[in-house]
Amino acid sequence: MELLHGPIKDYAWGSRSAIAALQGRPVPSDGPEAELWLGAHPGAPATVSRADGPATLIDVLTVDPGRWLGQPAIDRFGVRLPFLLKVLAAEAPLSLQAHPDAEQARAGYAAEYAQADGVRNYVDPFHKPELLVALGPMEALCGFRDPAVSAKVLAGLGVPELRPVLDALSAGPAGLAEAVRTLLTWPEAEREALVTAARTAAVTGPDDDLVAMLAQTYPADPGVLVALLLNRVRLAEGEAIWMPAGNLHAYLRGTGVEVMAASDNVLRGGLTRKHVDVAELLRVLRFEVLDEPVVPSRPVSDGVVTWPVPVPDFALHRVTVRGDRPGVTLTVPGPRVLLCTIGEVTVADAVAPVTLGRGRAAVGPADGGALTVRGAGEVYVASTGSL
């Protein structure tokens, strides 16, 4: 194992306390800290310390791919780390977004790569399914809920202009696409009046604070109303949500450990000042009802749990150890990236041990064999899935 140092993305919605506190730095931080990246994505690769200075994880993997990635991972994904581990810390809502599947990503990247200029939706040719595990109370919008429930909420706002959306939702799941399209393509000159009417009704009505919270930052964005079509999920520590390709979602607030296929392809429809492409978002969205967004954890062994996902790109385990008990051994395939979130642990593989305090990370090669974790604390282990 080797210590791993990840860069921090300073997106405007980030927290000024969560990542700093996790790493034991002064709070508040100088600016927003949204995501800690622990991987080898070209957009922000992590580094390891070497005798001649820091080396990016990309360089480390490229120099000796067989050792670091293992032949099964190379055969399946090529010479690249197929997953990216993050800490996500949201102090304000993120954009309404979805990610393409593998075929859409390849085609979209190839088409845009041929363009001479212009803003691009696809920055790489890979899909980006995601799993997020809450480190504390966290809120998110994840997947479409029953259209009948959404129609009741929208009707309760008493906004006559929403009649076309209600008519679409009356068709059930088959009407979701039309409902979303109607809202996201609402005439720009009429958007602020629509959101204002909905916000006024929500303040005095039964639909809690969601409209008011989103409209405060985006007073002329119809994505405020699209949010009412989604499941609002409140996670406790250790609970997780799974976001497959085509799933419309947005994190609202809170901190979690997130693992995903190593991609940065994001298609946005609203609630953001970044690039929005409604047409492309509508093309990749899956207009299906997601009855249960929360993924239950599954025990693996004493002190080890995982959250099963149906992709081979990654797996995530959480190992919990206590100082008065023997260590925990975990065998996972391929390369592995570790993050300590509680206490202090020592992690050993067949190469060398490392000691990780809270907020510290490490990386180990595929030929490192089983991991043994000792100490008193908690560590998340990202690896490839079953290949």
- Which residues are annotated as catalytic? 268
Strand 2-5, strand 8-9: pairing: unpaired
Q: Under the phi-then-psi rule, with left for phi > 0, alpha for psi from -120 to 50, and beta for the rest, what region is 109?
A: alpha
Q: How many angstroms separate the CA atoms of 145 and 172, rounded?
A: 10
**Which residue in 62, 84, 85, 86 sits closest to 74, CA to CA?**
62
Q: Comparing C-alpha atoms, which of 347, 387, 343, 386 is closest to residue 369?
A: 347
Q: Could you tell me the two tokens for 32?
A: 């927003």
Q: What phi and psi, each to the nearest 5 degrees, are found at residue 71?
A: -65, -40
Segment holding 378, helix H or strand E: strand 371-383
Structure tokens at 187: 């005439």
Measured between alpha carbons, how far is 271 from 259 in angstroms, rounded to an integer? 23
Do 328 and 35 contact (CB within 8 A), yes or no? no
C-alpha 383/C-alpha 364 separation (Å) is 10
Helix (H, G, I), strand (E, B) or coil at 331: coil
Six token digits for residue 169: 């939702």
Q: How far is the C-alpha of 237 from the C-alpha of 157, rounded, in Å?
A: 33
Cα(83)–Cα(128) distance, integer angstroms? 9
Give SS3 for 301: strand
Nearest to 315 by CA among 323, 305, 301: 305
Collect all residues with Cβ–Cβ distance below 8 Å to 52 and sequence separation of at least 6: none
End-to-end CA distance of the chain: 22
